[in-house]
Amino acid sequence: MFFPRKNRVRVVIPIAGVATVLLLSGCTPTLTVSTATVDPNPTVSIAALPLSGTDIDPVTQIVVEAELGRLTQVSVLGPKGVVPGILSDDGSQWSATGAPLEYSANYVITAEAADARGRVTSLDSKFSTLEPEKFFTADVSPSEGEVAGVGEPIVVTFNKRVENKAEVEAALTVRTSRSVLGAWAWRDNRTVEFRPKELWPGDMSVEVDLNLTGVQAKPGVFGKTSTKDTFSFRPSMVSVVDADTYTMDVFRSGELVKTLPVTAGKAGFETRSGTKVLITKERSRIMDAASGGTSEDNPEYYRVNAEYAMRMTYSGEFVHAAPWSAGSQGSANVSHGCVGMSTTDGEWWWNQNEIGDVVIVKNTSRTQTDDGNGITIWNAPWVEWLEKSSTGPQITKPLQVVR
C-alpha cells in the first residue's frame, strides 16, 4: 500500500565530507540528520524518508533511495519486527509495504548502496512516531463471521463525530470475491454505509478493511487502530409481491422457484411499494392494532396470533401466515398492510428466508417514502446515493478466497 504523496518527503544525504542537504516538501515534522565522513570522491548517495526525528505521522511511508548507484541492503525494524518492503527493478528505491506505522513507536533504518565501481556507502538512522492524545474507533456490520442476506448494507459506526469525511471514507476498503460497483454514503456524522448500485449478488465473501491508523476524524482525533472484518452473503433470496395480481414470486439466486397467492393491504391500509429488507424472524407473533393507534372500539381493531412472521418495516408491515384471509389470497387485498398467505405457504416461505433477505412490493398506491422505516437504502436512486458520498462510485477490490 502506498501512502499519500503529501507524506512522502525526500531527505537526501550526499556522501561527501560532512555536508548535508535536506529537500523537504509537504507538511512534515522537522527532521534532523547525522552526517558521516566517507570517500572524498563518491558517486553514490542514499536518501531516506524519514531519516530521523520525532512525532512522525504514522501514515508516512518509509522510502529509501540510492542515487547514482544501487541499494544492496535495506533493513527497517519496528516494534513488531521487520517492516516489509519492495525493491524497484533497477535497485534504486526500496518502499515499505503493508500497514501504516505504529503510534508512539521507534524505528531503525539501515541501508547500503554501491556505485558502478563497487564503492559502498551506508545509512543508519532512527525515528519515532507521534503519540496522539485523542482517538476514535469504529464498528462494522455485518459482524465478523456473519452470513448476511443480500439486502444488508455494510455499516461502519464511529464513536466520535467525523468531520474529515473524505479522509475517513478513503481509508475504508471493501474487498469481495466477486467485483461489484458500489459506493459509501453518509447517513449522519457518525455512520457511513456501503451498498452496490444494485442488490448484492449473493453467495460471496467480503472483507472490510478499516485503515484508520493515522487518519484524523477531526483535527487531533486519530484512528485507534486498523482492522479487518470478514463475513459472507448467502445465496440471494428475493420475493416480489405484485398487489395487482395478488401474487408473490420467490426467486433464489435469480431463479423463480415458486409463485404464491397472497393478499396485501386494503384501501386505507395499503402496503408500501418499494424494496424492503427483512429485519426480524418470529415463529409466531401477537399482532394488536392498538400498537398502531387503533382503539379496541374501532371496527378496524384486531388482535391475532400470526404464525411464520417476518418484519419488513418498523411501522408494522410483516409477511406472515394469515389463514383468516384464505378466501381472498390470490384474488383481493384485504389486510391492514401486511402480506398474508396460507399457513402451508407461510411455513414454506418462512423456512426459505432469513433476516437480511429482500421483499419487493409493487403496484400499490402508497410508496416507501419514510426513510429509515426499516432498511430503506435500496429505495434511494443511485444518483441520490452518490450525493451523500465523499469518494464516489468504486469497484470493490478483489478478495482472494482460500478454498
Residue range 42-64, pLDDT digits in tens: 578 888 888 678 899 998 999 99
Q: Which residues pair with 252 in a beta bridge?
A: 237, 255
pLDDT-derived band of residue 325, with 50, 70 and 90 as boundaries? very high
pLDDT one-digit tens code per residue, 109-126:
999 999 988 899 999 999
pLDDT of residue 26: 33
Tell me if residue 115 falls in helix, strand or coil: coil
Question: Is the bond preceding residue 84 a cis peptide, omega within 30 degrees?
Answer: no
- pLDDT at residue 22 is higher than 50: no
pLDDT of residue 297: 81
When comparing pLDDT for 5 and 247, which is higher? 247
Mean pLDDT of all residues in 280-301: 86
Q: What is the pLDDT of residue 296?
A: 82
Please name which of 122, 158, 253, 192 lies closest in space to residue 391, comparing C-alpha atoms: 192
Among candidate residues 250, 307, 242, the one with its CA nearest the CA of residue 281: 307
Domain ranges (residues) in the chain: 5-129, 134-235, 237-378
User: Quick check: helix, strand or coil at residue 323?
Assistant: helix
Q: Grade residue 223 by pLDDT with cuts at 50, 70 and 90.
A: very high
Model confidence at 211: pLDDT above 60? yes
Task: Please report the pLDDT score of residue 308 as a whole number.
Answer: 98
Return the SS3 of 21.
coil
- Contact call for residues 228 and 212 (beta carbons, < 8 A): no
5-129 against 134-235: fold identical: yes
- Band the pLDDT of 370: cuts 50, 70, 90: confident
Q: CA 312, CA 332: separation in Å to the nearest integer? A: 21
Which residue would you say has higher pLDDT here, 318 or 100? 318
Q: Look at the domain 237-378 and name its fold.
A: L,D-transpeptidase catalytic domain-like (2.40.440)
pLDDT band at 127 (very low <50, low <70, confident <90, very high): very high
Q: What is the CA radius of gyration of the chain?
A: 30
The stretches of 132-174 forming alpha helices (DSSP H) are: 165-170
The predicted pLDDT at position 371 comes to: 81
Query: Which is more confident, 288 or 281?
Result: 281
Percent pLDDT > 90 in the chain is: 77
Q: How much is the pLDDT for 33?
A: 30
Q: What pLDDT, on the 0 to 100 scale, is given for residue 369?
A: 80
Assign residue 269 a region: left if phi > 0, alpha if psi is -120 to 50, beta otherwise?
alpha
Confidence band of 18 (pLDDT split at 50, 70, 90)? very low
Nearest by Cα to 378 from 360, 355, 366: 360
Within 10 Å of residue 394's Cβ, how many Cβ atoms?
Answer: 15
Residue with cell 556507502: 121
Question: How much helix, strand and coil, in percent to the nearest 5, is found in the chain?
Answer: 10, 45, 50
Mean pLDDT, the chain, whole residue set: 88
Q: Taking 80 as the threshold, does the pLDDT of residue 323 lie above it?
A: yes
Span 10-20, average pLDDT? 33
CATH architecture of 5-129: Sandwich (2.60)
Say how far apart CA 223 and CA 216 lie, in whole Å. 6
* SS3 at position 347: helix
d(C-alpha 175, C-alpha 31), whole Å: 37
Helices (H) and strands (E) in the chain, counts: 3, 32
**Whether pLDDT at 41 is above 80:** no
Average confidence (pLDDT) over 68-80: 95
Cα 164 to chain centroid, rounded? 17
Q: Provide the β-strand partners of residue 223.
A: 136, 213
Per-residue pLDDT, averaged over 180-204, amounts to 97
**Residue 403's pLDDT band (boundaries 50, 70, 90)?**
low
Where does the pLDDT of residue 147 fall: very low under 50, low under 70, confident under 90, or very high at 90 and above?
very high
Give the residue-averaged pLDDT of 80-103: 93
Q: Which residues contact 115 (CB under 8 A, 6 or more apart)?
A: 42, 43, 44, 68, 69
Region of poorest pLDDT, from 25-39, 210-224, 226-240, 355-369:
25-39
Give the phi and the psi of residue 320 in degrees, each rounded to 5.
Answer: -160, 165
Per DSSP, the residues of 40-95 read SS---EEEEES-SEEEE-TTPPPEEEEESSEEEEEEEEETTEEPPEEE-TTSSEEE
Cell of 90: 533497477
With a cut of 90, say whether residue 20 has pLDDT above it.
Answer: no
Cell of 69: 548507484
Element (H, E) at 345: helix 343-352
> Which CATH fold topology does 134-235 show?
Immunoglobulin-like (2.60.40)
